[in-house]
Amino acid sequence: MEGRPRWPYTRLSYSYTKGFPERAKPFMEAAFRQRANVSVFTFYENLGFLKSDIVIGFFKGDHGDGAAFDGQMGKLAHAFAPEDGRLHFDADEKWSLKNTYVDGIHFESVAMHQLGHILGLGHTTEIKALMYPGISMGEIKKLHVDDIYGISVLYPPLF
């Protein structure tokens, strides 16, 4: 991401595209909660009254945004910097919706990574951080001090 893209406000709405799996929503919402816990942001689901800041969906192949997906084990997901707010997951991946034994790509870890991009964070070289540009099959990533530092530099705490 070029420059230092930022949101001009810290209360962000989100919505899901049609067909987003209901069973994935609790994991996406957990990712929002974890990001909110270490930042100045609050997130709320927009139930369709206004345009959402963040729009989340699953897509296959070329889906019209110039960043086509490539099937299993390639590009897992992508997100656009502020104030675009689109977050797309590759529907062809073997996603794991678990937080213990993970039998695929850990959805919540990837969701937290992509939310970092939505908030304006780029990649890091710290391999244990969520914003490191890779995750292995079966790996669960958690917020790392590097992730927390990055968001606090971009959006300093209010106190």
Instruction: Report the chain's mean pLDDT, rounded to a whole number.
Output: 92
Instruction: Look at residue 70 and tell me whether its pLDDT is greater than 90.
Output: no
For the record, the structure tokens of 124 come out as 């890091």
Closest CA to 59 of 48, 51, 68: 68
At residue 2, the pLDDT reads: 56
The CATH class that applies to domain 11-154 reads alpha beta
At residue 71, the pLDDT reads: 80
Provide the whole-model pTM: 0.93
